[in-house]
Structure 1
Amino acid sequence: MRATTAFLCLLLAAAAPLASQAETLRLSLQPVTDWKAVFGRVEARDRLPARARLGGTLVELTVSEGDIVTAGQVLGQIEDQKLTFQLSALRAQTEALQAQLANAETELKRGEELLARGVTTAQHLDALRTQVDVLKGQIAALDAQAQVITQQEAEGAVLAPAAGRVLDVPVAQGAVIQPGEEVALLGGGGIFLRLSIPERHADALHEGDAIRIETTAGTAEGRLEKVYPLIENGRVLADVAVHGLPDRFFDARVLVRLPLARRETLLVPETALVARAGLDFVAVQDGETTTFRAVVPGERHEDKGAIQVEILSGLQPGDLIVTDPASLPVAVVGHD
Structure 2
Amino acid sequence: MSVRLARSLALATIAAAAAMSVGAASVGVSWAQGAPPAPTVQIATPLAKRVTNWDEFTGRFEARDQVEIRARVSGFLDSIHFKDGELVKKGDLLFTIDQRPYQLAVDAARAEVARTAAQVDLAKNEVERAEGLTQNRTITARDIDQRRANLNGALAQQQAAEANLKTAELNLEWTQVRAPLAGRISNKRVDAGNLIAGGQSGATLLTTIVSVDPINFTFDASEADYLRYSRLASALRQNANREQGSPAQVRLSDEKEWKRSGNIDFVDNALNARSGTIRGRAVFENKDQFLTPGTFGRLRLFAGETDALLVPDAVIVSDQASKIVLTVGADNKVVPKPVTLGQISDGLRVITQGLTKDDKVIVNGLASPMVRPGATVAPQPTEIKVAATN
Q: TM-score range by the shorter chain?
A: 0.5 to 0.7
| Structure 2 partner of 1:240 | 282
Q: Provide closer, same or farther for how the CA distance between residues 309 and 284 of structure 1 changes in structure 2, counting only shifts above 3 A.
A: farther
2:348 pairs, out of 284, 289, 307, with 307
1:251 pairs, out of 255, 279, 294, with 294
Contact 2:45/2:358, CA 8 A, preserved across alignment: no
TM-superposed CA distance for 1:86, in Å, is 3.1
Separation in structure 2 between the aligned mates of residue 261 and residue 175 of structure 1, nearest angstrom: 60
Contact 1:13/1:328, CA 8 A, preserved across alignment: no
Deviations 1:297-326 (A, max 9, x none): 55363222x22263865x444324465x43
Separation in structure 2 between the aligned mates of residue 327 and residue 198 of structure 1, nearest angstrom: 39
Residue 225 (1) aligns with residue 261 (2): no
Contact 2:218/2:281, CA 8 A, preserved across alignment: yes
Residue 48 (1) aligns with residue 67 (2): yes
Separation in structure 1 between the aligned mates of residue 310 and residue 366 of structure 2, nearest angstrom: 21
2:326 pairs, out of 250, 262, 282, with 282
Q: Give the aligned residue type for 2:257.
A: T
Deviations 1:9-40 (A, max 9, x none): xx9765xxxx8xx673267697785745x431
Contact 2:365/2:371, CA 8 A, preserved across alignment: no
User: The residue matched to 2:64 in structure 1 has which SS?
Assistant: strand
Residue 86 (1) aligns with residue 105 (2): yes
Q: Provide closer, same or farther for how the CA distance between residues 332 and 157 of structure 1 changes in structure 2, counting only shifts above 3 A.
A: closer
Q: Provide closer, same or farther for how the CA distance between residues 30 and 94 of structure 1 changes in structure 2, counting only shifts above 3 A.
A: closer
TM-superposed CA distance for 1:153, in Å, is 0.8
Separation in structure 1 between the aligned mates of residue 324 and residue 114 of structure 2, nearest angstrom: 100
1:185 pairs, out of 190, 208, 214, with 208
User: The residue matched to 1:216 in structure 2 has which SS?
Assistant: coil
TM-superposed CA distance for 1:146, in Å, is 4.6
By relative contact order (CA 8 Å, sep 6+), the higher-ranking structure is 1
Separation in structure 2 between the aligned mates of residue 272 and residue 217 of structure 1, nearest angstrom: 24
Matches within 5 A, 1:92-103: none
Q: Provide closer, same or farther for how the CA distance between residues 65 and 231 of structure 1 changes in structure 2, counting only shifts above 3 A.
A: farther
TM-superposed CA distance for 1:260, in Å, is 7.4
Contact 2:78/2:97, CA 8 A, preserved across alignment: yes
Residue 162 (1) aligns with residue 202 (2): no
2:251 pairs, out of 183, 207, 213, with 213
TM-superposed CA distance for 1:282, in Å, is 3.3
TM-superposed CA distance for 1:139, in Å, is 9.2
RMSD of Structure 2 on Structure 1 (CA)? 5.5
Residue 25 (1) aligns with residue 45 (2): yes
Residue 59 (1) aligns with residue 78 (2): yes
| Structure 1 partner of 2:242 | none
Separation in structure 2 between the aligned mates of residue 328 and residue 302 of structure 1, nearest angstrom: 23
Q: Provide closer, same or farther for how the CA distance between residues 166 and 204 of structure 1 changes in structure 2, counting only shifts above 3 A.
A: farther
Q: Provide closer, same or farther for how the CA distance between residues 149 and 293 of structure 1 changes in structure 2, counting only shifts above 3 A.
A: same
Query: Mind listing any 5+ residue stretches in structure 1 that lack a counterpart?
Result: 1-10, 101-122, 124-132
User: The residue matched to 1:219 in structure 2 has which SS?
Assistant: coil
| Structure 2 partner of 1:39 | 58
Deviations 1:237-261 (A, max 9, x none): 1112334485463212223456779
TM-superposed CA distance for 1:74, in Å, is 1.0
**How many equivalent residue pairs?**
300
Separation in structure 2 between the aligned mates of residue 161 and residue 232 of structure 1, nearest angstrom: 37
Q: Give the aligned residue type for 1:251.
A: G
Higher-strand-fraction structure: 1
Q: Give the aligned residue type for 1:184.
A: T
Identity %: 18
Separation in structure 2 between the aligned mates of residue 328 and residue 158 of structure 1, nearest angstrom: 69
TM-superposed CA distance for 1:165, in Å, is 1.1
Contact 1:292/1:330, CA 8 A, preserved across alignment: no
Contact 1:285/1:322, CA 8 A, preserved across alignment: no
| Structure 1 partner of 2:365 | 326
Matches within 5 A, 1:112-151: 146=165, 148-151=167-170
Q: Provide closer, same or farther for how the CA distance between residues 64 and 297 of structure 1 changes in structure 2, counting only shifts above 3 A.
A: farther
2:336 pairs, out of 275, 294, 298, with 294
| TM-score, reference length from structure 2 | 0.54
| Structure 1 partner of 2:388 | none
Q: Give the aligned residue type for 1:156.
A: T
Separation in structure 2 between the aligned mates of residue 317 and residue 299 of structure 1, nearest angstrom: 15
Q: Provide closer, same or farther for how the CA distance between residues 79 and 31 of structure 1 changes in structure 2, counting only shifts above 3 A.
A: same
2:88 pairs, out of 63, 69, 82, with 69
TM-superposed CA distance for 1:84, in Å, is 3.6
| Structure 2 partner of 1:108 | none
Contact 1:300/1:307, CA 8 A, preserved across alignment: no
